């Protein structure tokens, strides 16, 4: 067994185990930690494929930002996970159907690779000679998949806004500025004129 094959099986086994533990762990903090482990090993698989840019993006963006944000939200929000798991059985049939669909798709992919190993290599579009991995990826993203790339950015923007809304807390003791109310005020509402009698205190 070569070194590349050994590391492939090592990274693949840890990735599959971590992915299973993400959904099997009882503690949500442990689930996020297993998710980070899955991301790191997936980055190792990208390195074996020669996609070093994707590997670094996976570590820097997903592990350094997204997974840490998940961990931050899980630890900060007081979510009652026992209450969320009470309605698990009513979604079980849909989950089984989706799981079977994923298993069938993976089986079809594995069968295709077993019957004709060269079909995947022919379907892949090789990078132009003289281009690095980063340059080739940039050309593909900003030419063929520009609209999908912008749509993915909108999805991430929506997720960011949702995280801000979930973590925003309004305290009644804090006086906040409401621009619409300030613009609607008239002079009578803003200034109160009192007539003070002569030689009398206010």
Per-residue pLDDT reduced to its tens digit, 112-152: 655 555 555 555 555 566 777 778 888 888 888 889 989 99
The answer, as to whether pTM is greater than 0.75, is no
**In the prediction, which pLDDT does 177 show?**
78
Residue 174 confidence (pLDDT) above 80: no
Lowest mean pLDDT among 120-124, 127-131, 156-160, 196-200: 120-124
- The tokens for 139 are 């050309």
Q: Do the beta carbons of residue 42 and residue 83 sit within 8 Å?
A: no
Calculate the alpha carbon distances from 178 to 11, 62, 147, 166, 174 in Å. 53, 36, 37, 21, 12
What is d(CA 134, CA 144) in angstroms, rounded to the nearest whole number?
A: 15
With pLDDT > 70 as the criterion, what percentage of the chain qualifies?
82
What is d(CA 97, CA 140) in angstroms, rounded to the nearest whole number?
A: 34
pLDDT digits (tens, 9 = 90+) for 74-99: 777 666 666 666 666 777 788 788 88
DSSP codes, 148-159: HHHHHHHHHHHH
Torsion of CA 64, 68, 69, 73, to 10 degrees: 180
Distance of CA 184 to the CA centre of its chain: 41
Cβ neighbours of residue 31 under 8 Å, at least 6 residues apart? 21, 22, 23, 25
**In the prediction, which pLDDT does 155 show?**
93
pLDDT digits (tens, 9 = 90+) for 64-80: 777 777 777 777 766 66
Q: Do the beta carbons of residue 65 and residue 145 sit within 8 Å?
A: no
The CATH architecture of the domain made up of 1-80 is Up-down Bundle (1.20)
């Amino acid at each position: 067994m070569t070194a590349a094959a050994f590391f492939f099986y090592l990274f693949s086994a840890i990735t599959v185990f971590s992915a299973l533990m993400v959904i099997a762990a009882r503690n949500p903090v442990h689930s996020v930690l297993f998710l980070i482990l899955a991301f790191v090993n997936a980055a190792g698989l990208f390195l074996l494929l020669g996609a070093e840019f994707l590997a670094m993006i996976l570590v820097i963006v997903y592990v350094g930002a997204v997974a840490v944000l998940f961990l931050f939200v899980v630890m900060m929000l007081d979510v009652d996970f026992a209450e969320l798991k009470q309605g698990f059985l009513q979604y079980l049939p849909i989950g089984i159907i989706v799981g079977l669909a994923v298993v069938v798709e993976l089986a079809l992919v594995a069968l295709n690779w077993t019957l004709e190993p060269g079909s995947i290599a022919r379907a892949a579009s090789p990078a132009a000679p003289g281009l690095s991995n980063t340059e080739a990826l940039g050309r593909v993203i900003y030419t063929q998949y520009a609209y999908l790339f912008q749509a993915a950015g909108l999805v991430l923007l929506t997720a960011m806004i949702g995280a801000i809304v979930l973590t925003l807390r309004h305290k009644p003791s804090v006086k906040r500025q409401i621009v619409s109310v300030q613009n609607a005020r008239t002079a009578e509402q803003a200034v109160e004129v009192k007539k003070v009698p002569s030689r009398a205190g206010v």
